[in-house]
Structure 1
Amino acid sequence: MQKRKQTIGLLVFLVIVWGINWPLSKIALTYAPPLLFAGIRTVIAGIILVIAALPKRKQLNFRQLWPVYLVSAFLSIVFYYGFQTIGLQYVPSGLFSAIVFLQPVLLGIFAWIWLGERMYGLKIAGLVIGFLGVASLSLGGLTGSISPVGVLLALASALSWALATVYTKRNAARVDMLWMTAMQIMIGGVILLAAGSASESWADITWSPPFIVNTLFIAVFVIALGWMVYFKLINEGEAGKVGSFTFLIPLISIGSSVVLLHEQITMNLVIGMLLIVSSIILVNVRLGRAAGRIVQPPVPGLGKE
């Protein structure tokens, strides 16, 4: 009972901070270029996590595990946050987050292809409905009211996140999860910061109180604590619960975007969200036990350095 309460508490925390992250990031982008903003917030989070992990420094094992840390950094941080931060400049934050949370549906496909999970009728229906949901959300791209580039970047974010989850789960037995989280965020943040420094100007950052507060909140709660909680739940076999709760994140994102950014709720957005919510539920209906096994089978082509 105590463990269940802890799991629910961690899920509630994750849903809330990851939900409000989207409009806060959109606001922060009015004060800073995308890659520099992504790098700054991620490096701050990485420093926090490295400090937290120092008491376990013997478990870092960097000489043997650096390839795992590097691949994870690119999938979880460089690609995910890079696509996300750039894409938020093109489409509303609520819409962007709704497309990104197609991730559990993509994860269902990858579990079938790489982890040997059975593809049953409800899951197939869920996957089809999920893609219909994204199609509904993306219709504005065909009429010119929504940027197709933004939609593609949102899909790329979802893809990189799904691949990162599979990769992390595959290597969970080889690495200490705190060091895994700290290293992927620290390395990814440095890469993003270097890319931003090379292609953008630090002079374009407005160091105002709203930007500083937003950046610190996202670095500490969304990235540092958020990823620790996410991978803790995944590593403890709670993937099914995480997957079934993720549909709440874009709902919170959309609601907070309406309040903070005055974004409009369109019929396409409502239909697309309903389809994606239905999809996630169907995909996770029979994942209760399978989710606990998802770490076990080897992943061809992943995790072999």
Structure 2
Amino acid sequence: MNFKKSPKLSFLISIILTTVFMGSSFPTGKYLISLNHAPPFLIGSWRFIIAGILMLLFTLLTKGISEVTPRSNGRLTSGFHLVAIIGLLQTTGTMVFLNLAMAKGLSSSMSSIILFTNPLWLAILAHFLLNDKFNRWKFLSLLLGIIGVILCLGLDKTAFSVGALFALIGSFCWSINTVITKRVPFDQSSWVFTGWQLFIGGMGMFIISMFLHENYNLSQIDTIGWFCFIWLILPASIGSFGLWFYSLKQGGANNASSFLFLVPLFSTIFSMIGLHDHFTVGLLIGGILIILSLTLVNKSMSEKMMS
């Protein structure tokens, strides 16, 4: 295998799996919340806390305490500060604002559309903060991606509401988190980094859940619901976030974030399979535009890696 192509292949495999797992979290989470009546913040906090503990415990048992202790530039304090900030932005911030958006009347499809404008905001931030210049090809690929997401999910009147503002703040949280991840080094692996940020982010959601007086009896979860909950912990949390931070290292912030346009596409496909949502022409056209958008991103990435 050509050495120059292997990092690209590794990146493509990891980022595609990331988007598949992220996309699967929407219909599985919707099943628990809508059909098993699970409170969103409480079930979300359990999901992330358990996932984080499993990842950190695995590292502790296999590699020891030194590998599980977060450090940045050799400093324990800096390491804890970094994982706390990322956990509160990536997990707590994004998920809380997404739930607040829907609580304020924003439809789930519009929430997804606004959340996944993230690559556009990141491209602007990366231009100034990461020296990853914003050019017309990147702009065109991002524009095609956003149009594709809109066609897949469909616009509605809730686009102009307080809920839309909350969803936009959630999208900004994700973008800022990505910039911090690229600018501040973390001494341990992406696996350990993911474990800490999921655990801390989950604890943040749990505190909010307690403040809202959410409670739930696990006996209300049916067999399919238990499958959904386990899926949310393993592939949709450990898998998606672990591969996401790995993809950031492999492909860069702009390239990795551009592939997030695939998440609503996969989410819609999984919803059609599992929740019997209807197929639409908009999904077909939107999917084609998203693939075209990613083709432009992939071409740009290939040129950068070959230069």
TM-score range, shorter-chain basis? 0.7 to 0.9
What is the deviation of 1:181?
1.4
Over 3 Å counting, the alpha-carbon distance change for 1:269 and 1:79 in structure 2 is farther
2:62 equivalent to 1:52: no
Give runs of aligned pairs for residues 103-252 of structure 1, distance below 5 A: 103-127=118-142, 139-141=155-157, 148-203=161-216, 206-237=220-251, 239=253, 242-252=256-266
Moved more, 272-281 or 71-80: 272-281
Q: CA RMSD in A?
A: 3.5
What is the deviation of 1:105?
2.2
Aligned to 1:29, which of 27, 33, 43?
A: 33
- What's the counterpart of residue 299 of structure 1? none
Aligned to 1:63, which of 47, 56, 77?
A: 77
TM-superposition CA deviations, 1:227-262 (whole Å, max 9, x none): 111111211345565345433322111122233334
Instruction: State the identity %.
Output: 25
Indicate conservation of the 8 Å contact 2:94/2:173, yes or no: yes
- What's the counterpart of residue 19 of structure 2? 15
TM-superposition CA deviations, 1:117-138 (whole Å, max 9, x none): 3232223344555666677767
What is the deviation of 1:189?
0.7
- What's the counterpart of residue 102 of structure 1? 117
Moved more, 272-281 or 49-58: 272-281
Amino acid in structure 1 at the alignment position of 2:224: P
TM-superposition CA deviations, 1:74-100 (whole Å, max 9, x none): 111111222234445655555543443
- The number of equivalent residue pairs is 289
Over 3 Å counting, the alpha-carbon distance change for 1:267 and 1:200 in structure 2 is farther
TM-score by length of 1: 0.77
Over 3 Å counting, the alpha-carbon distance change for 1:8 and 1:40 in structure 2 is same
- What's the counterpart of residue 298 of structure 1? none
Indicate conservation of the 8 Å contact 1:35/1:192, yes or no: yes
Amino acid in structure 2 at the alignment position of 1:184: Q
Structure 2: how far apart are the matches of 1:270 and 1:149?
A: 30
What is the deviation of 1:210?
3.1
Amino acid in structure 2 at the alignment position of 1:117: D
Amino acid in structure 1 at the alignment position of 2:87: A
Indicate conservation of the 8 Å contact 1:133/1:275, yes or no: yes
Indicate conservation of the 8 Å contact 1:53/1:182, yes or no: no
Give runs of aligned pairs for residues 247-262 of structure 1, distance below 5 A: 247-262=261-276
Indicate conservation of the 8 Å contact 1:132/1:275, yes or no: yes
Give runs of aligned pairs for residues 266-285 of structure 1, distance below 5 A: 282=296, 285=299
SS at match of 1:247: helix
Amino acid in structure 1 at the alignment position of 2:234: V
What is the deviation of 1:64?
3.6
Moved more, 98-107 or 202-211: 202-211
Amino acid in structure 2 at the alignment position of 1:171: V
TM-superposition CA deviations, 1:255-304 (whole Å, max 9, x none): 22233334456677777666666556556653456699xxxxxxxxxxxx
What is the deviation of 1:33?
1.1
What is the deviation of 1:148?
3.5
TM-superposition CA deviations, 1:15-52 (whole Å, max 9, x none): 32222211111111122111111101011111111112
Structure 1: how far apart are the matches of 2:165 and 2:267?
A: 19
In structure 2, runs of 5+ residues without a counterpart are none
Over 3 Å counting, the alpha-carbon distance change for 1:127 and 1:17 in structure 2 is closer
Amino acid in structure 2 at the alignment position of 1:183: W
SS at match of 1:202: coil
